[in-house]
A and B are shown apart, each in its own frame.
Chain A
Amino acid sequence: MAQLLLSSEDLDRTCQRLAHQFVEPFDDPGSLAIIGMQTRGVDIARRINGYIKQFFSVDVPMGVLDTTFYRDDFRTRMKMPSVQVTDIPFDLFGRDLVLVDDVLYTGRTVRSAMDALMSFGRPSSVRFCCMVDRGHRELPVTADYVGIYVPTHLNEEIRVETNEQDGREAVFVVRKKEEPEA
């Protein structure tokens, strides 16, 4: 059973708010850069970046990051993850990065993303933005910018849908089917 958390309009409005929050700390946002995490984090990052350009007339460079190689769980999962594109077409040195993902859960993906980023150089700072923080952290990670905070049960999952991947936009919380007792 899926329960709607954010409609398309809510998601869009949240991206606009995040665009303002990204730029707020800077007198001159020239050092700002955005890295979207594959897959839906990239779509959200693009949307936010579009609003930054619209509101502040600033071209913020954007990259795309896949963290598969840095994950600590890829060998214990049933399915071997397919590696996706990583493309960071600018020098990280001296940049103030914002890393964008769709859902923050255990914190392991963010940890692997920070490891991955360090292969590309030494940024001045890295902040983290997620559209949904659902709790249940396994590592001491917190987000600097959050779209919506949703306390969840472990048998629920958060589904973020984007136009690019799913043909529609929304955020749902979905209750997984109960496992039959052995």
Chain B
Amino acid sequence: MTNQSNEAYVFPHRHLLGLKDYSAEDLLHILDQTDKFLEILNRPIPKIPTLRDKTIVNLFYEDSTRTRISFEMAQKRMGADVVNFSSSSSSVSKGESLKDTIRNIESMKIDMVVTRHPSPGAAHFLSRCVDAAILNAGDGAHEHPTQALLDMYSMRRKIGRIDGLKVVIIGDIMHSRVVRSNIIGLTRLGAEVTVCGPRTMMPLFVDELGVSVSYDLEACLEWCDVAMALRIQLERQEGGLFPSQREYHERFGIKKRHLREFPNFTIMHPGPVNRGVELESEVADHPRAIILDQVTNGLAVRMAVLYLLSGGKRM
């Protein structure tokens, strides 16, 4: 499934707030462009000057080492000037509001903002406060669009298609922004999605998003082409949504024997993996797991998105 033949297509977006605003054609265009950026990463000098006149602020109100590093590396590989902002070491700790913070930063003549915030809708709010292009790097439990794009790209690269692909997403469905963006993107491109996890972590009415719900991991693994295990956020589990990590692993962890019993599915995980919880350690290191490919693909996807949002006069 490719979009490359459509020469008349013009990418219409100024921001990436969530995949909800993106059509199937937009998503395919990003995935097609990502191929070209992956090629750059394999060059002897993997650097291009495309964003050399752009200043980008990484505005992170929540810790996120790998997403921030991935964005920062993408920006630097494209020659942008990069400023990192973290709320803990800024005036936010003195009580400054999000709106005042971003307007102050914008006064320093910035072009793009990559933002992560614990509140759903923070990226949408920022897009109404400033003129800069806004990229959502995760807003609460709402959306994490670049993670979903890199997941979709990894699936297409590994299996060759998304249309008709059977994907099961396993874990804490309720609190995951990755799931939400993935459901929107995957179903829009024609994949079948099943969510699987403890009942305490399954939101009500999730089936209204166009997915099936299952509580039987092995039935899902037998059915699927791709099994995406989500990270259990151990730091958020003090509320006791499951009795113990051991019990979670027993019921919803992918184990070595599953690889033998169900020889076809590909394993994905957004990282970092809690070994022995979502995945048995040997599963995380197995050739059928494309977890490290996801990281590389994430860099290429973010370069593609930065490129597409960085310019051109809009029609």
Q: B-contacting residues of A (Cβ < 8 Å)?
A: 66, 69-70, 74-80, 82-87, 115, 118-121
B261 at the interface (CB under 8 A from A): no
Asked if A86 contacts B45 (CB within 8 A), the reply is: no
* Least distance between A83 CB and chain B CB atoms (Å): 4
Interface residues on B, range: 20 to 34
Given A69-B49, A86-B36, A80 and B44 contact (CB-CB distance below 8 Å): no
Q: List 10 A-B contacts (CB under 8 A).
A: A69-B49, A69-B50, A75-B310, A79-B10, A82-B7, A84-B36, A86-B36, A119-B43, A119-B46, A120-B43
Q: In this complex, what residue of B is CB-closest to A87?
A: B39
Work out how many contacts link A and B, with CB atoms closer than 8 A: 62
Q: In this complex, what residue of B is CB-closest to A75?
A: B311
Sample of 12 further A-B pairs with CB below 8 A, known A79-B312, A82-B4, A121-B44: A69-B40, A69-B48, A69-B49, A74-B312, A75-B313, A78-B315, A79-B10, A80-B308, A82-B7, A86-B40, A119-B48, A120-B45
Q: In this complex, what residue of A is CB-closest to B304?
A: A83
Q: What's the Cα separation between A115 and B79 when bound, in Å?
A: 14
Asked if B313 contacts A76 (CB within 8 A), the reply is: yes
CB < 8 Å neighbour of B33 from A70, A79, A82, A120: A82
CB < 8 Å neighbour of B312 from A69, A77, A86, A121: A77
One digit per residue, 1 when the CB lies within 8 angstroms of any chain A CB and 0 when it does not, for chain B 26-43 equals: 000100110111011001
CB < 8 Å neighbour of B48 from A70, A76, A79: A70
* Least distance between A136 CB and chain B CB atoms (Å): 23
Q: What's the Cα separation between A77 and B313 when bound, in Å?
A: 6
> CB-CB < 8 A to B313: which residues of A?
75-78
Asked if A83 contacts B33 (CB within 8 A), the reply is: yes
Q: What's the Cα separation between A121 and B46 when bound, in Å?
A: 11
Q: What's the Cα separation between A82 and B30 when bound, in Å?
A: 10
One digit per residue, 1 when the CB lies within 8 angstroms of any chain A CB and 0 when it does not, for chain B 1-41 equals: 00010010111000000000000000001001101110110
> CB-CB < 8 A to A78: which residues of B?
312-313, 315
**What 7 A-B pairs come out closest when comparing CB atoms?**
A80-B312, A75-B311, A69-B48, A83-B36, A119-B45, A69-B50, A119-B43
CB < 8 Å neighbour of A74 from B35, B311, B315: B311
B103 at the interface (CB under 8 A from A): no
Q: What's the Cα separation between A119 and B49 when bound, in Å?
A: 11
CB < 8 Å neighbour of A70 from B10, B49, B311, B312: B49
* Least distance between A22 CB and chain B CB atoms (Å): 25
Q: In this complex, what residue of A is CB-closest to B78?
A: A69
Asked if B39 contacts A86 (CB within 8 A), the reply is: yes
Asked if B36 contacts A80 (CB within 8 A), the reply is: no
Q: What's the Cα separation between A115 and B37 when bound, in Å?
A: 17
CB < 8 Å neighbour of A75 from B9, B11, B44, B312: B312
One digit per residue, 1 when the CB lies within 8 angstroms of any chain A CB and 0 when it does not, for chain B 277-315 equals: 000000000000000000000000000000110111101
> CB-CB < 8 A to B312: which residues of A?
74-75, 77-80
